[in-house]
Amino acid sequence: MNIALIAHDRKKDDLVRFAVAYKPIFEKHTLYATGTTGLRIMEATELPVHRFQSGPLGGDQEIGAMIAKNSMDAIFFFRDPLTAQPHEPDVTALVRLCDVYAVPLATNMGTAEILVRGLERGDLDWRNIVKEDRDQKDE
């Protein structure tokens, strides 16, 4: 599965701890992240992470493009709801794309715990069927 890891500044420590805790699950998948978040996860876990630009510089949109191409299977986006974000329209667009393309999205630790356990059990294997259907339509 292709999994994106994103976090607002005040949530980066939480996401890094989460990635460390669930390294045995994440190491079985291909990880993507926005700039600084990806670097911090790589340093803490030694997992390979494809890094995009930082969120405000277009990283959210790069991940959104993967969602629109049906190339992203799950998003862990630890958002900070108490701090105004200069790129809020990009965040809103990313969340909207997850809804449009039925990509599971966890925006807080509680939902992330459920999503990562589902990933571990194979509950997201239906994404492979969705990708196959999309690939056949593109042919």
Catalytically annotated residues = 60
Q: Are 6 and 34 in contact (CB under 8 A)?
A: yes
30 marked ligand binding residue: no
37 is in an annotated binding site: yes
Any binding-site annotation on 87?
A: yes
Q: Is 118 annotated as a binding residue?
A: no
Tell me if 50 is assigned to a ligand binding site. no
Q: Is 55 annotated as a binding residue?
A: yes
Strand order, beta sheet including 49-51: 49-51, 30-33, 2-7, 74-78, 105-106
The helix (run of H) or strand (run of E) holding residue 106 is strand 105-106
| Sequence-separated (6 or more) residues with CB below 8 Å from residue 42 | 48, 49, 51
Known binding site for substrate: residues? 8, 12, 34-37, 54-55, 87
Known binding site: residues? 8, 12, 34-37, 54-55, 87
